[in-house]
Chain A
Amino acid sequence: MKCSEFLQELTNYLDGVIDDRTKSELENHLSWCHNCYVVCDTTKKTIEIYRDSQLYELPEDLRSRLRSAIVSKCQGHKKAGPESV
């Protein structure tokens, strides 16, 4: 397996959606190719860092303000049914 072929399968590999045969070919490649090992490992870290990053959290005060606005607009049209909002 070439590095470019490894890279093509990287997303499927990290997501765990590949068959056993391809998986063992990828892991065999990883066992000797340092560059691909590092790319794979640091790509995984990239995903984890973003997933745990809590960027753009909605502050509670803004959250309740937005929710009140949404609910009151929905309620304003409640009598006529949701399709008339």
Chain B
Amino acid sequence: MSTIQPKVEPVSDELALVQAAKGGDVGAFEELVKRYDRNVFRIAQHITQNREDAEDVVQDAFLKAYSNLKQFQGQSKFYTWLVRIAVNEALMKLRRRRPERTVSLDEEVKTEEDSVPREVADWSPNPEQQYSQAELREILTKTIQGLPASFRTVFVLRDVEGLSTEETAEALELSIPAVKSRLLRARLQLRERLSRFFQKRGESGNGKPILESGDGDL
């Protein structure tokens, strides 16, 4: 079985852009915005689960990055540093919107779902093709929204955005074992939840399951 390859390639001219932006070259900073705005938007929307908040996070994170560029020492990649700012902005939005719930990346979330599954149903060969684009999008969105914020964020940074374990740890201010443990549980929980939709017909008994509406638990 082959391993998962990250999709983000390192960019070599980045430091030159950062240096120019530090010197006040807004055009160079705009290049950095163009390079990463889509990533920041995705991350922000995964965390906040709200489109307007995600738009605000994109603006706030880049402005904060620009105003604090002098503090960026180049020991990490600019992108990792930017993601750290964006995640903090997104978490602030989430806390403001849902003050009744505690949102922390440090909390240990107890779940039963990551114990060894006893009966495992295999998936259809190309499970995503059983659904229309819109249906698939809804399944994937609702499924990931159901994960606790701390798992969701680690999964998105590692597996969707392609950050390394070390970069994810740095961006989230977590230890490497904490990132690995959250990643494993996030992956297993997503797998378990997607199985409802993707398992081979006949093993579940009654065809396509219907999506339930509802909010993700944090």
- Residues of A in contact with B (beta carbons under 8 Å apart): 3-4, 7-8, 10-17, 27, 30, 34-35, 38-51, 53, 55-58, 62-63, 66-67, 69-71, 73-75, 77-78, 81-85
Q: Closest approach, in angstroms, between the C-beta of A4 and any C-beta of chain B?
A: 5
Interface extent on B, as a size class? 35 or more
- Check if A70 sits within 8 Å of B33, measured CB to CB: yes
- Check if A49 sits within 8 Å of B194, measured CB to CB: yes
| Complex partner residue of B187 from A43, A69, A74, CB under 8 angstroms | A43
What are 5 A-B pairs at a CB distance below 8 A?
Answer: A50-B190, A57-B38, A70-B30, A74-B63, A83-B70
- Residues of B in contact with A (beta carbons under 8 Å apart): 1, 3-4, 7, 21-22, 24, 26, 29-30, 33-34, 37-38, 41-42, 45-46, 54-55, 58-59, 62-63, 66-70, 114, 116-123, 127-128, 136-137, 140-141, 144, 155, 159-160, 162, 165, 180, 183-184, 187-188, 190-191, 194-195, 198
Q: Closest approach, in angstroms, between the C-beta of A65 and any C-beta of chain B?
A: 9
Residues of A within 8 A of B37 (CB): 58, 63, 66-67
- Residues of A contacting B: mostly: helix
Most buried by B among A10, A39, A66, A74: A74
Given contacts A35-B116, A45-B198, A67-B34, 14 further A-B contacts (CB under 8 A): A3-B116, A7-B114, A13-B3, A14-B4, A16-B3, A34-B120, A35-B120, A48-B4, A49-B128, A50-B140, A53-B140, A82-B21, A83-B70, A85-B66
- Check if B159 sits within 8 Å of A47, measured CB to CB: yes
| Complex partner residue of A11 from B38, B55, B144, B184, CB under 8 angstroms | B184
Residues of B within 8 A of A10 (CB): 184, 187-188
